[in-house]
Structure 1
Amino acid sequence: MPGVIRQYVKIVDTINRRLGRLVMYLIFVMVGILLWSSISKTFFLPSLWTLEMAQFAMVAYYMLGGPYSIQLGSNVRMDLFYGDWSDRKKAWFDAFTVFLLIFYLGVLLYGGWESTSYSLQYGERSSTAWRPILWPIKITMCLSIFLMILQAISEFFKDVARIRGVEI
C-alpha cells in the first residue's frame, strides 16, 4: 500500500482511538447528571435541565463512540454466513459493503449539516421548559458522522490491504 494511504489510516485510527477512549468517560457524566436529578427531585426542587442534559450526554457518548466502535469491529453484523468465511472473503465482502455504509453516512451528514445550519441561523432552541440551544449537540453529531466516514474509508483501505495479503 502507498505511504499516503498508510499515513491516512494511521492518523484516522489514532484520532478515533483517542477520542473514543476519552468519550468512554461520558457515561460517568451522564450517571452524575441522573444522580443529581434523583437527589434534587427527592430533597430539593426538581431541576429542569437534568433530563435533557443527560440525553445530550448520551447522544455525544453514542455518536462520538461510533468511529471507535467501527475501528474495533464491534459493530453489529449478521454472522450466519460471515462467521465461516476466510479472512480474505470477509475482506472482499467488507470492502464492498463499506460503500453502502459511506453512502448512508453521507446522507446522514447532509441532513445533519442542513439541520445544523438552520439551528445556527435561527438560534433554534428545544421546546422544553429549559429551552437549551440545539446547535452544540447538532455540531457534535455532524462531527461524529464525519469521523465515522473517515473511519469507514480507513477500514476500506485495511480491507483492500487484507485482500492483497498485506496488513496496514
Structure 2
Amino acid sequence: MSEPMMPRAVCAYVRWVEAVGWFVGRVTMFMIFAMIAVLVWSSVSKSFLIPSLWTLEIAQFLMVSYFLLGGAYAMQLGDHVRMDLAYGAWSPRTKAAVDAVTILFLIFYIVILLYGGISSTIYAIAYGERAYSAWRPYMWPIKVIMCAGIALMLLQSIATFFRDLADALGRSVGTPRLEETAADVPGHQPSADHRPEARS
C-alpha cells in the first residue's frame, strides 16, 4: 500500500527547489578547478614573473562562492556536521519530528543572514564599495553571489522541513531524499545516520 502524499503544492515545491539546488551544486563543484588554476598562477607569477595583484582576492571570492552556492546541495546530501548524543537511537519518525522542529531555528538564522546580506549588497551597489587592497575590486558581485547562495539554502531548508514533516506524519513528498540515493553520487559517502526508507 502506497503512503499518503503531502499536498500537491508542497510536493511541487520540494521537487523544484531540490532540482535547482542539485543543478547549482553540481555546477559549483567544478569551481575547485578554477581555484586551483588561480593558486597555481599565483605561485608561478610570484616565483618567475611580476606578482599578480588579483590572485588572492579572486581565490577568496571563488572559495566563498564554492561554499555558499554548494550549501543547498550539501544539505540535500546530509553532509553538514551533526552532533549525535541520543539521535542515533531514535526511531525514524522520532528523528523526523525532532528535525522538523530544530530546522525552524536554522530557517530563522538563515532569514537573518539573508537580510544582512541583502542590506550589505544594496550598500555595496549604491556606494560602489571596493575592497581595501591594491587591486581594489568592486564588492557587489561577490555579495550578490553570497545572497544567491544563502537564498538557495533558505529554500532548501524549507524543503527539508516539508520532508521532515512528511516523514513524521508517515507521508511522502513523491521523491526520495538525495542522501538516500547518494550511492549514485560519485565520490560521496552517505552518512550513517540518515533516515532509511522505513517509517516506524
Normalised by the size of structure 2, how large is the TM-score? 0.83
CA distance in 2, matches of 1:97, 1:143: 23
Q: Larger helix proportion, structure 1 or 2?
A: 1
1:167 is aligned, of 167, 172, 176, to 172
How many residues align? The count is: 168
Task: For residue 73 of structure 2, give the secondary structure of its aligned residue in structure 1.
Answer: helix
Identity of aligned residues (%): 54
In structure 1, what is the Cα distance between the partners aligned to 2:36 and 2:95?
A: 38
- 2:120 is matched with 115
Which residue does the alignment assign to 2:103? 98
> Where does 1:12-31 land on structure 2 (aligned, <5 Å)?
12-31=17-36
Separation in structure 1 between the aligned mates of residue 91 and residue 111 of structure 2, nearest angstrom: 30
Q: Which amino acid aligns with 1:165?
A: G
Of the three residues 38, 43, 47, the one matched with 1:42 is: 47
Q: Choose the corresponding residue for 1:82, options 66, 81, 87.
A: 87
Give the CA RMSD over aligned residues.
Answer: 0.7
Misfit runs of 4+, over 6 Å:
none
User: 3-state DSSP class of the match of 1:80?
Assistant: coil
TM-score (norm 1): 0.98
Segments of structure 2 that go 5 or more residues without pairing to the other structure are 1-5, 174-200
Residue ranges of structure 1 left out of the alignment (5+ in a row): none
SS of 1:27 mapped into structure 2: helix
User: Aligned to 2:21, what secondary structure does the other structure show?
Assistant: helix
What amino acid is the match of 1:61?
A: Y
User: What residue is the counterpart of 2:16 in the other structure?
Assistant: 11
CA distance in 2 between counterparts of 1:110 and 1:52 reads 24
**2: CA distance between counterparts of 1:83 and 1:65?**
26
Q: Deviations over 1:135-163 (max 9, x none)?
A: 01001111111111100000011011101
